[in-house]
Structure 1
Amino acid sequence: MNDLYSIGDVARRTGLSVSAVRFYADEGVVTPTGLTGGGFRQYDVHAIARLELVRTLRDLGAGLDDIRRVLAAETTLHNLATTHLRLVEDQLRQFRARRAVLRTIVRQHTTTEQVSLMHKLVSMSDDDRDQLINQFWDFVTDGLDVHPGYIERLHAMRPHLPEEPSTEQLEAWIELADLVRDEEFRTALRDHLHRTFNTEKGRLMATPEMMAHAERQRELFLEAKAALQAGVPAESPQARDIAERVAAARAEMLAAMTGQHDPDEVRRSIVAFDRNKGARWMAEATGLKLLTRYSTLVATINGTPKPDPDQAATLHEWMAAALR
C-alpha cells in the first residue's frame, strides 16, 4: 500500500502553500488520494508528482485549463510547451522593445510626444521598416543623374532587424528610424549626393566599371585588415604583397578616371599617409559623416562590423610601413 502524506507534508515536498494545494483540489486539478477518519486530505507520491508538475507549469505561465488537459492526457506536454514557448518568445520581444524605449528615454531628453512614436517604431513590421527606408532613399536620390546600378546600391544599404534583436539593435533602430525621418538630415544627404555625383567626374564614379574597381579595393582592404588583425608584421613579404596589390588596384582605378597610370605616385601617396591629416579631412567631410552615421547604425542593427576611422587609419599606417 502506498504511503499517504498529510497536506502539510505535501506542501513542504512540493514548495506549494497549503492553501494552494487545497485550491488545486477544489478546482479538480489534483484531488486528494484519500481522507483520514477526521476528514483531513491525504496524498500519495503520484499525486505529489502531479502537484509538482502543476507548480512547474504554473511557473511557466500555463493556465488551469491547459494543465487539466495535460493531466487528463487530452494534450501532450510537448504541444503545451510549444504553444507556451511561442507566447514567451513573443513576450520577450515585447520586453526587449520596451526596454529599448525606456533606455532611450533615460539616455535622451525625450518628450512625452516622442515616447509613443518610439514605441511605434520598435513595433513596426518588416514591411513597414522596408517602406520607411525606401521612402528615405527615394527622397535622397530623387533627381540624381547617375547609373541606376548606383541607386540600387544605395537602396541596398538598409537595416535588417533580426527576429530576436538585442536591446542595442533596437536602440539603433529607434535612432535610425528617427534619423531617416528627420528633414534636415534627409535634405543634407541629398544635397551632398547631388553635389558629388551631378558632375562629369561624379557620374563616372557611379558607373558599373568604377563600382567594380571600388569593390576590388574593398576586398583588398578586407584582406589587409585580416592580415593586420592576425599580427602579420608590416615589414613581412606578405604585408608588402598586399600593400603592392592595393597600390596597383588604386592606380588602375585612377587610370580609369583620368586616363593616367602612375603606380609609383600612388605608392608615394600611400607611404605619405598622415593620420592627423586624414582625421582633419574626415572632420571636414560633412557629407561623408552623414553617410557614416547612417552606415554605423545599419551595421549595429545588422550585427556587421561598423565603420571605424581609427582602425582604418591604423590599417593605412600598416600598408605605408609595408611599402617603405
Structure 2
Amino acid sequence: MNIGELSRLTGLPVKTIRYYSDVGLVPEAERSPAGYRRYDHAALVRLEFVRTLRELGLDLATIRRVLERGADLGAVAAAHAEALGAQIRVLRLRRAALRAVASRDAGPADLDRLAKIAQAGADERRRILDEFFDSIFSGIAESASTDGTRSGEAFAGGMRSVTADLPDDPTDEQVDAWIELAELLRQPDFRDKLREMGRRSFAPGAPRVVPTDPAELKWFTDLVGAAQDRGRPDPATVADTVLARWASMAGRADGPSLRAEVIAALEGGVEPRAERYWQLMAVINGWPPVPATMHRWAWFLSALKEGAGR
C-alpha cells in the first residue's frame, strides 16, 4: 500500500507517517519504480503500535528502544504509568485549587494561595496545623478537671497529635477537604472563638456541667433529635429532662443556677465550625464520617433560654 492508503487506514497524517519512516520507526517495505514509499501489513501493525505508545506519552527515543528490544516493554510501561500517576496527582491538586477559587469570590492572590495549600506536603500541612494550635492554645494554663484526669495541656497535646494525613493518591473529596480545612484554620474569628472556649473550659475551677461521655452524648442527641425532627416531646420537657439528668450525674441541685451554667457553657461552646473541623479531618484521614450534631445543641440552647423565665 502507498502512504496515502496507510494514512486512511490509521487516521495518521501523511506527514507524520513520513517522519516516522525517515527516523526508522516504521520503515517502508520497498520503493516503487517512481520512488514512492510502499508499505506492507507489518508496517501497518508497527505504525499502530507506535501511535499507541505516543498517545500514552512515550517519547520517540524510548519507542525506538522498545521496537529494537533494547528496552523491555513491561518495564517501560510500569515506569511510565508511575510517572503518569504523579502527573495525575498534581493535576488533581491543581483542579481542586481551581474549584475552590470558582466557589468563592477569589482573586489572583487567592488562587496562588489555594494552589500552594492544595499541593502542600506533609511537613507543610503539619506546619499549618502547628501554627493554628500555637494560636488557640496560647495562654491555656494546665488545670485539672473535676475528676483529675484531664488538663488544658493534655487536651492541647491530644489535639496536636491529630494530623492531616493525606494519602499519596488522595481522592478529590480528600483534597477538597484539606483546602477547606486550611482555609478554616486561617479565620481569625474562629481562632478567637476556640481560644475563648479553651479558656473557659480549662480555667481553674471552671464548672463542667455538660457531660462528655460518648454514651451520654448519644442519649442527649437521640432525645433532642426526636423532639427536633418529630416534635415530641416539646422543647420545655426536653430541657427539664436533660437538666434533671445532668444535675443528678453531677450531684447538683436542678434549678435556675444549673440552667444558667448550662446556658453559659453552650453559648461559649456551640460552634459549628469546630464540628466541621472534625468532619474535614475524618474525610482527610479516611475515618468514619463525623455526624452533624451542632444543630441539636443549638436547638437545645434555645429551649433552655425559652424556659429560663418560667
Return 5+ residue gaps in structure 1 as ranges: 225-250, 266-279, 314-324
Whether 1:170 aligns to 2:166 is no
- Contact conserved, 2:28 with 2:43, CA < 8 A, in 1? yes
TM superposition shift of 1:20: 1.4
Aligned to 2:58: 62
Counterpart of 1:189 in 2: which secondary structure? helix
- Contact conserved, 1:188 with 1:287, CA < 8 A, in 2? no
Richer in helix (by share): 1
TM-score (normalised: structure 1) = 0.68
> Per the alignment, do residues 310 and 133 of structure 1 end up closer, same or farther by CA in structure 2, a change over 3 Å counting?
closer
The one-letter code matched in structure 1 to 2:282 is A
Whether 1:309 aligns to 2:305 is no
The one-letter code matched in structure 2 to 1:305 is P
- Deviation digits for residues 189-240 of structure 1, max 9, x if unmatched? 11111112214356899xxxx97xx35667x78xx9xxxxxxxxxxxxxxxx
Aligned to 2:48: 52
The 2-side partners of 1:202 and 1:21 are apart by 82
The 2-side partners of 1:217 and 1:11 are apart by 74
TM superposition shift of 1:99: 1.5
- Contact conserved, 1:296 with 1:306, CA < 8 A, in 2? yes
> Per the alignment, do residues 174 and 259 of structure 1 end up closer, same or farther by CA in structure 2, a change over 3 Å counting?
same
Q: Percent identity?
A: 32
Whether 1:193 aligns to 2:198 is yes
* Higher RCO, Cα 8 Å, sep 6+: 1
Aligned with residue 85 of structure 2, among 82, 89, 108: 89
The 1-side partners of 2:44 and 2:265 are apart by 70
TM-score (normalised: structure 2) = 0.70
Q: CA-atom RMSD, angstroms? A: 3.6
Residues 284-303 of structure 1: pairs in structure 2 closer than 5 A: 284=267, 287-303=270-286
TM superposition shift of 1:174: 1.7
> Per the alignment, do residues 138 and 293 of structure 1 end up closer, same or farther by CA in structure 2, a change over 3 Å counting?
same
For these two proteins, the number of residue pairs brought into alignment is: 259
The 1-side partners of 2:251 and 2:59 are apart by 75
The one-letter code matched in structure 1 to 2:137 is T
- Contact conserved, 2:272 with 2:294, CA < 8 A, in 1? no
The 2-side partners of 1:34 and 1:202 are apart by 95
TM superposition shift of 1:74: 1.1
Whether 1:13 aligns to 2:9 is yes
Aligned to 1:138: 134
- Contact conserved, 1:189 with 1:290, CA < 8 A, in 2? no
Return 5+ residue gaps in structure 2 as ranges: 144-150, 223-244, 255-262, 298-310
Residues 1-324 of structure 1: pairs in structure 2 closer than 5 A: 5-144=1-140, 145-146=142-143, 147=151, 148-201=153-206, 214=213, 255=249, 258=250, 284=267, 287-303=270-286, 304-309=288-293
The one-letter code matched in structure 1 to 2:275 is T
- Contact conserved, 2:50 with 2:63, CA < 8 A, in 1? yes
- Deviation digits for residues 110-138 of structure 1, max 9, x if unmatched? 12221111111111111110121122123
Segments ≥4 residues shifted beyond 4 Å? 201-205, 215-218, 251-255, 280-287, 310-313
Counterpart of 1:170 in 2: which secondary structure? helix
The one-letter code matched in structure 2 to 1:127 is D
The 1-side partners of 2:189 and 2:92 are apart by 30
> Per the alignment, do residues 253 and 291 of structure 1 end up closer, same or farther by CA in structure 2, a change over 3 Å counting?
farther
